[in-house]
């Protein structure tokens, strides 16, 4: 655990703007894209590799955000970790933070055992057929932020980010997938076109 007040309000503000927002964006976007591309993972090595790469990304961002909220409660915090209590203090976390759900608990274990480490537990999880529930995990993760965001003091997080977390609605991106193939082999290219429902934005041309 870090010494009290080892991070200034400005340090916390900058950290949230750059790193916390990044983790949330990567969690939600990778979850949405995975929900579409998972159905194509059997269409050759390229689709398989992209699906697994996105899955690895999703699992790491899910783990980072779960640890941010719950590592001190679970007594697994490292001295250099930035955690939720740095922003709102122990009492507000105890009073307002929802208990970690079974789905988030399982996701943390899966990320540690299946992705972050080469362990025998990976075999057992694969045999058990325990899937990643991308959308449900993202929704439960964001729900915990909604309960805490209004209590973050001004100066430690921007009003824009606080408002976003307090009212965050998970929007599943619409992903159009085009797989280029030859007549003799598997896929030689994959192009994704991504549109977030509600904002009218389209991110085109993510070739692989």
Q: What is the pLDDT of residues 75-112, one digit of tens each?
A: 888 888 999 999 998 999 999 999 999 999 988 888 87
DSSP state of 79: T
Q: Does residue 200 surpass a pLDDT of 50?
A: no
How much is the pLDDT for 87? 95
SS3 113: helix
* Range from 26-40, 59-73, 111-125 that averages highest in pLDDT: 59-73
Flag the least confident range among 4-8, 66-70, 121-125, 175-179: 121-125
More confident residue, 31 or 180: 31
d(CA 141, CA 146): 9
- Contact in structure between 41 and 47 (CB atoms under 8 Å): yes
Q: Does residue 65 surpass a pLDDT of 50?
A: yes
- Contact in structure between 90 and 76 (CB atoms under 8 Å): no
d(CA 174, CA 110): 27
- Contact in structure between 40 and 187 (CB atoms under 8 Å): no
pTM: 0.80
Nearest C-alpha neighbor of 29 from the set 103, 114, 106, 134: 134
How much is the pLDDT for 203? 41
What residue spans of 17-101 are helical by DSSP H?
21-37, 45-70, 85-88, 90-96
**Helices 45-70 and 21-37 meet at what angle, rounded to 10?**
140
How much is the pLDDT for 149? 92
Radius of gyration of the chain (CA): 19
pLDDT mean across residues, the chain: 79
Distances (CA, A) of 195 to 13, 104, 131, 198, 201: 30, 27, 25, 9, 6
Quick one: CA dihedral 98, 61, 12, 196, positive or negative? negative
d(CA 72, CA 126): 30
């Amino acid at each position: 655990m870090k010494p009290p007040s080892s991070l200034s309000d400005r340090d916390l503000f900058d950290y949230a703007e750059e790193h916390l927002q990044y983790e949330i964006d990567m969690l939600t976007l990778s979850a949405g894209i995975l929900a579409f591309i998972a159905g194509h993972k059997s269409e050759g090595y390229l689709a398989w590799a992209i699906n697994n790469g996105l899955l690895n990304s999703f699992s790491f961002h899910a783990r980072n955000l779960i640890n941010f909220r719950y590592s001190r409660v679970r007594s697994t915090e490292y001295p250099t970790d930035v955690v939720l209590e740095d922003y709102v203090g122990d009492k507000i976390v105890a009073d307002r933070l929802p208990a970690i759900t079974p789905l988030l608990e399982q996701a943390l274990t899966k990320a540690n055992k299946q992705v972050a480490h080469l362990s025998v537990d990976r075999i057992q999880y694969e045999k058990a057929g325990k899937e990643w529930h991308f959308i449900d995990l993202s929704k439960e993760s964001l729900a915990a932020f909604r309960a805490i965001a209004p209590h973050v003091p001004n100066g430690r997080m921007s009003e824009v980010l606080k408002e976003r977390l307090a009212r965050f609605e998970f929007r599943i991106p619409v992903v159009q997938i085009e797989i280029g193939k030859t007549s003799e082999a598997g896929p030689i290219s994959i192009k994704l076109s991504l549109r977030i429902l509600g904002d009218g934005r389209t991110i085109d041309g993510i070739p692989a």
